[in-house]
Amino acid sequence: MAPFIRLKSISKHFADVVAVDDLSLDIEKGELFCLLGASGCGKSTLLRLLAGFESPTKGTIEIDGQDMAGVAPADRPVNFMFQNYALFPHMCVADNIGYGLRRAGMRGTELAERVDALLKLVRLHKLGGRKPHQLSGGQRQRVALARALARRPKLLLLDEPLAALDKKLREDTQFELVDIQEKLGTTFIVVTHDQEEAMTLAGRIGIMDAGQLVQVDAPRRLYERPKSSFVADFLGTISFVDAVVASRDKTSITIGGDLNICAACDDDLPVGVAVKLAIRPEKIYLSRTKSGNVNEIEVVVEDLAYLGFATNYRVKTASGQMFKLQQQQRRSLDAPLSWGETGYVHFDPQDVIVLQD
């Protein structure tokens, strides 16, 4: 069965700028998909292409099997939620939400009941008569969401929906958004630059850079098994080690140099090839004394930041290799290390990611 949304080799050129570069993507029905990337990576352009506000220079967009070429925004089974909400300032909340329904010909009690149901869905039940400028930022956001859901679109596009909210509100709204999506079963595509948001909301994330999709995966796989150092570095924190394969066996490789790190690796990498090893900070353990583990390296504490629930360390080896690690606050036999002290890090070969770029 063809996927619900299929983007085939989509490119979009603006004058001499290539905003989207030969991008292909399949999205399943009922997914909550996130497009994640830095400013200018093309994610908002891609969203606007799906909405119909722009036409692709090359490639096709299919929604539920239907080719969207030449189809106006008004005629697509798609609705758009704008980053700064774009609420109609001269209409009250109820009229804003009902706008799309009126255009579809709905009137009278049917219209009023539907608007009422939507107001209840986004918990704005008593505020139907207010004007947008009389609402708080969070309330306006919910009006924008209700308005975009009114016509029961097959696909809902959300452009940085939580960017304008403050932190606490953002956290609460994230879960609300997921709830609503699961309740309605509508396919959502959310564009964001905030990785934590993407990780919280999405079933799958597509990381974009310079108009292309770098990797598309579930959050866990993106974090634990990034396929490129760009993705590895983009999500969370990571330590990189540049090295050359010194020896290998069936399930692991060892790099040369004074670090002598062993990494689990299924790929057939010949000796002598350059690799980049990457390790997540929570996978690196720090202790005062040698413990005889694999991949144990002597380091000096360069810097530390006490966060309460954990401490972030920056440690350096004699040869200048830097590691960033996070140590959970827990009872341990050693006193925690401080600036300038010597210690030993170690990490499991299974936790070492082998990258080749």
Partner 1 sequence: MVVRGMGKYLVNLPAVTGRRLVIALPLIWLAVFFFLPLVETLQVSFTSPRRGIPPYEPLWGIGDDGFFTNFTTGNYALLLQYWSDYFGPAFNSIKLAFFSTLVCLLFAYPMAWWIARSNEKWRTILLVLVMLPFWTSSLLRIYALIGLLNPNGFINAAGLWLGLIDAPIQMMQTDFSIYMGMVLTYLPLMILPLYAVMVRLDADLLDAAADLGGSGIQIFRTIILPLTLPGIIAGSLLVFIPAVGEFVIPALLGGPDQLMMGKVLWTEFFRNRDWPVASAIAMLLLAILTVPIIYGRYQDGRDVVAEAPNPKRAEAG
At position 154, the amino acid (one-letter code) is K
Minimum CB distance to partner 1, residue 159 (Å)? 10
User: Which lies closer to partner 1 via its Cβ, residue 143 or residue 177?
Assistant: 143
Minimum CB distance to partner 1, residue 91 (Å)? 8
Minimum CB distance to partner 1, residue 119 (Å)? 17
Minimum CB distance to partner 1, residue 126 (Å)? 23
Please give the full DSSP string across 71-117, using - where no structure is assigned. Answer: --GGGSSEEEE-TT----TTS-HHHHHHHHHHHTT--HHHHHHHHHH
Neighbours of 199 (CB within 10 A): 19
Minimum CB distance to partner 1, residue 251 (Å)? 53
Minimum CB distance to partner 1, residue 299 (Å)? 46
d(CA 255, CA 140): 55
Minimum CB distance to partner 1, residue 42 (Å)? 18
DSSP class of 251? S
User: Which lies closer to partner 1 via its Cβ, residue 13 or residue 283?
Assistant: 13
* Alpha helix stretches (DSSP H) within the chain: 43-51, 93-103, 108-121, 137-149, 167-184, 195-201, 219-224, 229-234
DSSP class of 156? E
Neighbours of 292 (CB within 10 A): 8
Q: In this structure, what are the phi and psi dihedrals at residue 229, rounded to the nearest 5 degrees?
A: -70, -25
d(CA 136, CA 197): 21
Distant-in-sequence, close-in-space partners of 271: CB < 8 Å, separation ≥ 6: 245, 246, 247, 248
User: Which lies closer to partner 1 via its Cβ, residue 44 or residue 192?
Assistant: 44
Quote the tokens at residue 10. 């989509």
Minimum CB distance to partner 1, residue 15 (Å)? 11
| Residue 63 exposed, middle or buried by CB count within 10 Å (0-12, 13-18, 19+) | buried
Q: Which residues bind partner 1 (CB under 8 A)?
A: 51-53, 72-75, 78-80, 82, 84, 86, 88-90, 99-100, 103-104, 133, 147-148, 150-151
Task: Assign 240 to helix, strand or coil.
Answer: strand
User: Which lies closer to partner 1 via its Cβ, residue 147 or residue 280?
Assistant: 147
d(CA 285, CA 347): 6
In which residue are the tokens 């004699």 written?
318
User: Which lies closer to partner 1 via its Cβ, residue 151 or residue 204?
Assistant: 151
Task: Assign 121 to helix, strand or coil.
Answer: helix
User: Which lies closer to partner 1 via its Cβ, residue 131 or residue 204?
Assistant: 131
User: Which lies closer to partner 1 via its Cβ, residue 1 or residue 72?
Assistant: 72
Minimum CB distance to partner 1, residue 154 (Å)? 14
User: Which lies closer to partner 1 via its Cβ, residue 66 or residue 251?
Assistant: 66
User: Which lies closer to partner 1 via its Cβ, residue 134 or residue 293?
Assistant: 134
